[in-house]
Structure 1
Amino acid sequence: MPTSGDAAEEPGNPAQDGTLRPHRLDEPTFAGLCSAGESLRATHALLDAEYSRRLLLLRVLVDEVAARPAAAGPLAPVRAAWELLARSQRRSPRAVHRLLMDPQTGLWAAQVLRRLRGTQDADGPLWSDVGRLHALAAAAAVRAGLDFRILVPAREGAVLLPSLGRAESGVAEPWGVAEVSGRDGTARIRYESDVVDMPVDAQDAPGWSGLRRLTLSHQGLTLDLTLDDLARYPVIAGTPGPDRLDEPRLRHWRRGLERAWALLVEDHRESAEALAAGLSSLVPLPPADRFRPRSASASEAFGCVTMSAQDTRVPEDEAASELAVTLVHEFRHTLLNGLMHLTPLAAEDCPDLFRAPWRDDPRPLTGVLHGAFAFSGVARFWRTRVARDSGSARERARFEYALWRRESRATLEVLRGHCALTETGRRLVNGLLADLSSWDADPLPEPTLTLAAQAAAHHRAAWRAHHLVPDEATVGATADSWLRGSEPPVLAAEETGSVVTDPAGCRIDAFAHLVRLRIADPHAFAVARGGGPRPNGVTPADVAHVAGDLAEAATRYAEEAARPASWGGLGLLLGTGRPELLRAVSRSVTRSSGRTPSPAELARWLARA
């Protein structure tokens, strides 16, 4: 496989010949990334760069393993696998290109290099991870129609051939070695006395689980997607692999994705074109809470998203919008990961932590920049839905658009002048801000804007109550003033303290979550208001707050003072802008006097500062 050279190709056309070449984004391509929309040209350019990067990773990996022959364990020397891969590429370069661009290939290569360099532990012997190269070579040879024979790793009786499927045997050993042989595009897997023949179409057969592929076509635009429920290398580090989907769940995914794809193609054509080019794999997760889909992407898995299925009880139109916006959201993370592989956006050693309005936990600079980039696209998605939807769906779209336009812009304004941003990072932030600012004249009802402002303020207050630790001197002086019965001290305009991540700070999006429920399902909201089942992480105080009963909400927040987020809600209602200080002063007074002050009285007193 060539590893150097400079191919002369049309811009944005992914290399197919295995050459490595320098990659720079021209000005129009980079400008396409500095926006709230998804650019087909930028997607092609980043795919091209990612392929060369994969080849480089493989070359480095092979060289490092070759220098440590024991790392291959009972398998053939790593160069034998490399040669088979090279033979396959000469026969069928497009097939090998597709295999090397599989997101699982990127995740695997990164893990093996970390293991070789001692920066990551993993279950199983090193050779079982190294042997993924042998399995890659076997899969490539099958796709190229070569005759071959090679040993590959087996795990708990299973042999995974990337991009093809998994052979199952009755052998119970945790780690073993199987033989894969191929002839005329078919494969036979032999593990001890068990033999599995891969069917010609690679679909399910006795002893064989084929990798599922979905082809979604609408109005002439096709998304060819692997529904990877065999993935070994997790998109979210440390999480277990997906469960194999049974037929009912597979049909549910197919129907949901078909509806989401039709919505994207019809109403979000530019996004759909970019997704069709750059999204290749979806790792399915079980259903999550309504309005809180679980999803993630990874820097080493270009083109892959992992996301939760929609609950079958959710209306189909709502499910289609949720799936569509989640695909856009995670694909934007993929695009930014691709850009960050080419150029840094911020200094790596920046110690600052920030509030990210879409997260429960504090985030580092690059993490919050990632989120701002993704949610700028989310805001753009809902902006279009405002114009296309009707009824309660339009009301929901208005709220989402108002919230994410507001929060994305506020976050970008915080980042704009940060000294740790590189010039590229600053240009990206400014470009996103320009897009968001151009939407200022969009008409939205005043009640919608008010709800978005309240949801943003509630999240900010809950986040502060969990993760901000006020200065000890300020806490002490304020507690002393309370104990003496005097007026609260004047607080400094510049806040002092530190950000310390509180692991208990979960589901602090309660207000926005309830607004969505009230809009989309008034009956379910009324049931929660009447004391019935509530969404996870939501308390009676939150329900009363969103219902507009502020007196009841304040009373209940005071009763729930053991929960940090309740200090945020109480502070909002009683005019205290620093719930973290309110909470810390309450604890200090309790320690000093042995008596816990009334949360409401303390909040009203501190509000006078």
Structure 2
Amino acid sequence: MRTSSEAADRSESSAQLLPPHRLDDAALAMLCSAGEHLEATRALLDAEYSRRLLLLRLLVDEVSARPASVGPLAPAGEAWDLLARAQRRRPEAVHRLLMNPQTGLWAAHALRGLRGTEKSAAPLWADLGNLHALAAAGAVLAGLDFRILVPAHHGAVLLPCLGRAQVPAAGPWSTAEVSAHDGTACVRAEGEGPGVPVPADATRDAPGWSGMRRISARHDGLALHLGVDDLARYPVIAGAAVPGRLDEAELRNWRRAIDRAWALLVEDHRDSAEALAAGLFSLVPLPAAERFRPRSASASEAFGCVMVSAPGPGADEEEAAVELAVTLVHEFRHTLLNGLMHLTTLAEDCPDLFHAPWRDDPRPLSGVLHGAFAFSGVARFWRDRAARTEKSAAERARFEFALWRRESRATLEALRTHPALTGTGRRLVAGLLAGIRSWDTEPVPEHVLLLAERAAAHQRAGWRAHHVLPDEAMVRALADSWLDGADPTAAPDGGSVVTDPAGCRLDAFAHLVRLSITDPDGFAEARNGGPRPKDVTPADLAYVAGDLAEATALYATQTHRPASWGALALIAGGGQDGAAGRPEVLRAVSRAVTRRSGHTPPPAELAGWLGGARAAGRAHNGSGSTSQLTRSSQDTA
């Protein structure tokens, strides 16, 4: 097969390869922006294809040096030669196979398994044997005559980009034979029976065969083609369960949802749609999530794949189309940044953890950078929508634009001078900031700006209440002052970030704003004791409705919830998160006073008193380090 002559980095820890070539300056400039561009996407695709070839060549070389590692299968070189024959016959088909996101996930997993840095539920030979399945699939697509053994799991034989055959099982892991003659391919348990024919149209189900189905959407001359990864063997997120097979009704619903979202993207976000058409390859379907809280993910080794939840209940077709469209853009931007990070380092290792306003948990620097890149594009999406819709849809778009413009800019400003950023990392941050700053003059109604400000402050205060531990000496001094009836001492910076697993759904304020805009009757019903969103309390509803007295009284009865302290601090400070003291300090001082005196101070009174300490201290930036956080292996933010 044709490979780049560049050397490979054989690092045991990352299994990454050195870049096969560099992006030109124009492509890099397009990536350092809040938009998606076809030219930049194509440049990353070329680089990723070369990288896949290098990764496969490295894997074949290492397996060939350990011939026993493939167990009952043919030597790795024979599978590689078959794949090379297929490439000579049908290069476009093999290109599609190698760019399949499952190929990237498998190759990285197999190389780590071969080197002993990752455990697998499958025997090593079966993981490595996906190379043989890849070669078999390429040979079928190329119309070659061939015969090769591949792994079977409980009799299931997965041929990448084609489908899955079910043959008699000789045990949990066994071999099966894939062969083809005169254009007819067949899968059979080794030495047994007539086997399962591979249909001419492999996307269709047949006896013993589950096709790798596809969703195609066309609008105004632009098409999106997605494989439906409901047969995937390798999960996008390490440790997660692979999805189950969609039934026909679920598949029809997905096709309708993609059709509507694609028409919206092509009509109103054409540049984004052109980039997605070139660089988005597969969809991993997830069950429906809560309204306004879609679940989605991507991974660095699965270029062009997006995991996304089905449209949630309660949303009308237009709302569901917009939600799916923005989620596709969001995750595709993660794919783009992953592609760039395969070519160059954006940040050196950094032990600090940071507040990311789109996440409930503390994030490492690379995760915050990923999120800022993705959400700058989300802000751009909503900016465009605000100009193209009307009534409640326009109001929702203006709120989302105001919120994510604010949060992306604040995060990028904090990152701008971070010493761990490389030159390219600084260029990326500067480019994103320049785009967001150019939106400063965009007209947004004052009441919408206020809602966005309060939503941002509420999330940040809840995050701090859960994850920041204040300095103990400072807490003792403040407790002394309260018990002595004195003015509060200054509250200087200090403390550490420790991940609290209970800190989740901290976006309650923004979630309720969305509900109040798009479904005011539903908001009113929740306000009057009816069904309300998960983990939203009556205090949250009162706060969003503007009844601060009721909200304060209710939050004061919920001080077992850390986020309630954040809200109390905000209300005491007039909605400004910098005015009323840090909520983690408020919570800790209340506990200290209670322990020492046996009496719990009134939360609202303590929050107002502590506001005097805030004026004398500096704002904490939310960074710190802790050994209690396990960094995620994914770059999704």
Residue identity matched to 2:310: A
Q: What are the residue-to-residue correspondences of 1:413-428 with 2, within 5 Å?
A: 413-428=413-428
Residue identity matched to 2:225: D
Secondary structure class of the residue paired with 2:165: strand
Query: Aligned in 2, Cα 1:491/1:222: closer, same or farther, shift over 3 Å?
Result: same
Residue identity matched to 2:271: E
Query: Aligned in 2, Cα 1:446/1:211: closer, same or farther, shift over 3 Å?
Result: same
Extract structure 1 runs of 4+ deviating beyond 3 A: none
Equivalent in the alignment of 1:412: 412
Equivalent in the alignment of 1:304: 305
Gapped regions of structure 2 (runs ≥ 5): 7-17, 574-579, 614-637
- Deviation at residue 256 of structure 1 after TM alignment: 0.6
Equivalent in the alignment of 2:626: none
1:199-254 CA deviation, whole Å, 9 max, x = no partner? 11111011111011112111001111112111111111111011111111101100
- Deviation at residue 578 of structure 1 after TM alignment: 0.3
Equivalent in the alignment of 1:50: 48
Equivalent in the alignment of 1:522: 520
> What count of residue pairs does the alignment treat as equivalent?
593
Query: Aligned in 2, Cα 1:184/1:511: closer, same or farther, shift over 3 Å?
Result: farther
Equivalent residues of 2:581, 2:610 under 8 A apart: no
Q: Distance in 2 between matches of 1:442 and 1:67?
A: 61
Equivalent residues of 1:99, 1:163 under 8 A apart: yes
Give me the TM-score of the superposition, normalised by structure 1. Answer: 0.95
Q: Distance in 1 between matches of 2:19 and 2:346?
A: 22
Identity across aligned pairs (percent)? 72
1:294-348 CA deviation, whole Å, 9 max, x = no partner? 001100011110100003542000000001000100000000011111110010x
Residue identity matched to 1:582: L
Equivalent residues of 1:295, 1:305 under 8 A apart: yes
Equivalent in the alignment of 2:288: 287
Secondary structure class of the residue paired with 1:538: coil
Query: Aligned in 2, Cα 1:543/1:288: closer, same or farther, shift over 3 Å?
Result: same
Equivalent in the alignment of 2:228: 227
Q: Distance in 2 between matches of 1:603 and 1:172?
A: 68
Equivalent in the alignment of 1:331: 332
Secondary structure class of the residue paired with 1:232: coil
Q: What are the residue-to-residue correspondences of 1:47-446 with 2, within 5 Å?
A: 47-171=45-169, 173-191=171-189, 193=192, 195-202=195-202, 203-347=204-348, 349-446=349-446
Q: Distance in 2 between matches of 1:154 and 1:589?
A: 64
- Deviation at residue 21 of structure 1 after TM alignment: 8.6
Equivalent in the alignment of 1:590: 594
Equivalent residues of 1:386, 1:397 under 8 A apart: yes
Q: Distance in 2 between matches of 1:396 and 1:489?
A: 42
Q: Distance in 2 between matches of 1:119 and 1:368?
A: 26
1:431-459 CA deviation, whole Å, 9 max, x = no partner? 11111111111111100000000000001
Query: Aligned in 2, Cα 1:188/1:414: closer, same or farther, shift over 3 Å?
Result: same
Secondary structure class of the residue paired with 2:387: helix
Equivalent residues of 1:5, 1:21 under 8 A apart: no
Equivalent residues of 1:142, 1:184 under 8 A apart: no
Q: Distance in 1 between matches of 2:178 and 2:95?
A: 21
Secondary structure class of the residue paired with 1:240: coil
- Deviation at residue 589 of structure 1 after TM alignment: 2.1
Point out which structure has higher relative CO (alpha carbons under 8 A, 6+ apart): 2
Q: Distance in 1 between matches of 2:20 and 2:364?
A: 29
Residue identity matched to 2:160: P
Residue identity matched to 2:605: E
Secondary structure class of the residue paired with 2:425: helix
Residue identity matched to 2:133: A
Secondary structure class of the residue paired with 1:74: coil
Residue identity matched to 2:2: P
Equivalent residues of 1:407, 1:456 under 8 A apart: yes
Q: Distance in 2 between matches of 1:185 and 1:403?
A: 56
Query: Aligned in 2, Cα 1:417/1:21: closer, same or farther, shift over 3 Å?
Result: closer
- Deviation at residue 79 of structure 1 after TM alignment: 1.3
Secondary structure class of the residue paired with 1:2: coil
Equivalent residues of 2:19, 2:344 under 8 A apart: no
Equivalent in the alignment of 2:452: 452
Secondary structure class of the residue paired with 1:342: coil
Secondary structure class of the residue paired with 2:403: helix
Equivalent in the alignment of 2:479: 479
1:512-558 CA deviation, whole Å, 9 max, x = no partner? 00000111111211111011111112111111111111111111111
Query: Aligned in 2, Cα 1:539/1:21: closer, same or farther, shift over 3 Å?
Result: closer
Residue identity matched to 2:148: I
1:175-210 CA deviation, whole Å, 9 max, x = no partner? 111111122443211125462111111110111110
Secondary structure class of the residue paired with 1:3: coil
Residue identity matched to 1:443: P
Q: Distance in 1 between matches of 2:86 and 2:74?
A: 17
Equivalent in the alignment of 2:582: 578
Residue identity matched to 1:538: V
Residue identity matched to 1:314: A
Equivalent residues of 1:143, 1:185 under 8 A apart: no
Equivalent in the alignment of 2:625: none
Q: Distance in 2 between matches of 1:549 and 1:602?
A: 20
- Deviation at residue 286 of structure 1 after TM alignment: 0.5
1:471-501 CA deviation, whole Å, 9 max, x = no partner? 1111111112222232211222xx2111111
Secondary structure class of the residue paired with 1:233: coil
Q: Distance in 1 between matches of 2:314 and 2:401?
A: 25
Q: Distance in 1 between matches of 2:524 and 2:170?
A: 53
RMSD: 1.4
Equivalent residues of 1:4, 1:21 under 8 A apart: no
Equivalent in the alignment of 2:549: 551
Equivalent in the alignment of 1:535: 533
Equivalent residues of 2:4, 2:50 under 8 A apart: no
Secondary structure class of the residue paired with 1:123: coil
Equivalent residues of 2:167, 2:208 under 8 A apart: yes
Query: Aligned in 2, Cα 1:201/1:561: closer, same or farther, shift over 3 Å?
Result: same
Secondary structure class of the residue paired with 1:300: coil
Secondary structure class of the residue paired with 1:465: helix
- Deviation at residue 82 of structure 1 after TM alignment: 0.9
Q: What are the residue-to-residue correspondences of 1:490-505 with 2, within 5 Å?
A: 490-492=490-492, 495-505=493-503
Q: Are 2:468 and 1:468 equivalent residues in the alignment? A: yes
Q: Distance in 2 between matches of 1:156 and 1:596?
A: 61
Equivalent residues of 1:333, 1:374 under 8 A apart: yes
Residue identity matched to 2:230: D
Secondary structure class of the residue paired with 1:159: strand
Secondary structure class of the residue paired with 2:231: coil
- Deviation at residue 585 of structure 1 after TM alignment: 1.3
Secondary structure class of the residue paired with 2:201: coil
Query: More displaced, 183-192 or 26-35?
Result: 183-192
- Deviation at residue 462 of structure 1 after TM alignment: 0.4
Equivalent residues of 2:167, 2:187 under 8 A apart: no
Secondary structure class of the residue paired with 1:388: coil
Q: Distance in 2 between matches of 1:268 and 1:196?
A: 44
Query: More displaced, 558-567 or 70-79?
Result: 70-79
